[in-house]
Amino acid sequence: GLITGGCESGVLQVYNVAQLLAGQNALVAQQEKHQGAVRSLDYNPFQHNLVASGASESEIFIWDLNNTAVPMSPGAKVTPHEDVQGLAWNRQVQHILASVFPSRCVIWDLRKNEPIIKLSDTQSRIRWRVAQWHPDVATQLWLASEEDQSPTVQLWDLRYATAPAKTFQIHQRGVLGLTWCSKDHDLVASCGKDNRIICWNQNTEDPNGEVLSELATTNQWNFDVAWCPRNPALIAGSSFDGNVTIYSIHGGVHQQVQTSNKIADSFPGMENIGHEPSQSVPLQSHGPVSNDLKRPPRWMRRPAGACFGFGGKLVTFNGNSRTVTVNQVVTDPELMERSNQLERVLNEGNFIEYCYQADDTANKFKKYVVDGPKNEDSNAVDGLSDQMAGLSRVSLQF
């Protein structure tokens, strides 16, 4: 695989993962096309060789990792020029790209090389930071605001783009990161300036949102959060102190490691200052970093189930319906007796005797079938088989 990174100097770097793990020179490509710091990157979910990058001055490039020499632009720069805060490829339509600016969101159609719609909220004091497309509905888009006075997450539908369809206020301060669970589309994880990482249910009408679990309360802002694509129980958070922490939505505790003060390490004679209580930030050595979810996620639910009850009742259900079905199981005593008899014959090996008993009530065809095992002469058995097939013995010469 490949890892793409954007730098503050406007440089885009591509690394080979296998060579990186082997300790070799893993740099595959390096380009300096952006005029300012690269603030956002996103891989195309349909064509994995395409990467979108956004920088300052409304600069957006589409890179082909097979040939990074000449990037493509989705269209003319949006004016007035602003920093590109986030990029998001549509999960249903491969040529649709969303770009997030502080005051608006521009949707691009790469087939036309032009923007097709611009979203803006003039009623609220917002400063958008991140965008996420709905994984099921191609025209729906989540936008999160980093403004402390309006830390909202809005759901926009491009078919009715005059106002947001839903508005949630999950965090107490600005939202910096948002990610969708690929295994359960009701679950969304977000992080913000209130130092919290929250897992919440987006499929609700509650304006405050249905918070399912508060994964962490840290001492630093988490500027990004990502759901593990292979193990949906794991969430990674990146904080401004340079750490990446892995959290589990299943709950539990983990040990936080207190790193040494970097200022005290760099400047001799400042060790005592760095360890004074007034200068240090308190950290919990042990403690819960996540709470259990209030409801089980989709991948842990039973897809179907059945249970027997009194009086021959059978209760069944499945995950695709809210209906519970109750069936009456009818038992045939004669069928049960014949089944038990056949099982005894198979265990004891009394096939000839069983055939004699079945011969009394059999019709003409069944007689041929059950009479076969009674004939010990192989020629007689072969002749019986020919009679059943309607054949007669003839001499064949070649």
The mean-pLDDT minimum among 210-219, 249-258, 324-333 falls in 249-258
Residue 161 has pLDDT above 70, yes or no: yes
Nearest to 126 by CA among 108, 111, 104, 106: 104
Among left, alpha and beta (phi > 0; psi -120 to 50; other), residue 374 is alpha
Maximum Cα–Cα distance across the chain: 112
Measured CA distances, 100 to 58, 107, 152, 376 (Å): 10, 9, 15, 86
List the chain domain ranges. 2-252+287-300
At 310, the pLDDT band (50, 70, 90 cuts) reads confident
Nearest to 135 by CA among 88, 95, 177: 88
Measured CA distances, 56 to 41, 100, 175 (Å): 13, 12, 20
Residue 275 has pLDDT above 50, yes or no: no
Percentage of residues in the chain having pLDDT higher than 70: 79
Nearest to 91 by CA among 185, 208, 204: 185
CA-CA-CA-CA dihedral for 337, 342, 346, 347, to nearest 10 = 10
193: enclosing H helix or E strand: none
Looking at the structure, give the CATH architecture of the domain made up of residues 2-252+287-300.
7 Propeller (2.130)
Residue 116 has pLDDT above 50, yes or no: yes
Give the model's pLDDT for residue 374.
Answer: 52
Tell me what the pLDDT averaged over the chain comes to. 81
Residue 280 has pLDDT above 50, yes or no: no
Give the model's pLDDT for residue 395.
Answer: 46
At 345, the pLDDT band (50, 70, 90 cuts) reads confident
What's the whole-number mean pLDDT along residues 287-310? 73
Contacts of 175 (CB under 8 A, 6+ apart): 129, 130, 144, 145, 146, 151, 152, 153, 190, 191, 192, 193
Give the model's pLDDT for residue 288.
Answer: 41
Q: How far apart are CA 149 and CA 124, in angstroms?
A: 10
pLDDT in tens, 63-89: 999 999 999 999 999 888 999 999 999
Amino acid at site 254: H
- The larger pLDDT score, comparing residue 234 to residue 379, is at 234
Nearest to 284 by CA among 251, 261, 308, 258: 258
Query: Percentages helix, strand, coil for the chain, rounded to the nearest 5?
Result: 15, 35, 50
Q: How far apart are CA 368 and CA 290, in angstroms?
A: 72
Residue 56 has pLDDT above 70, yes or no: yes
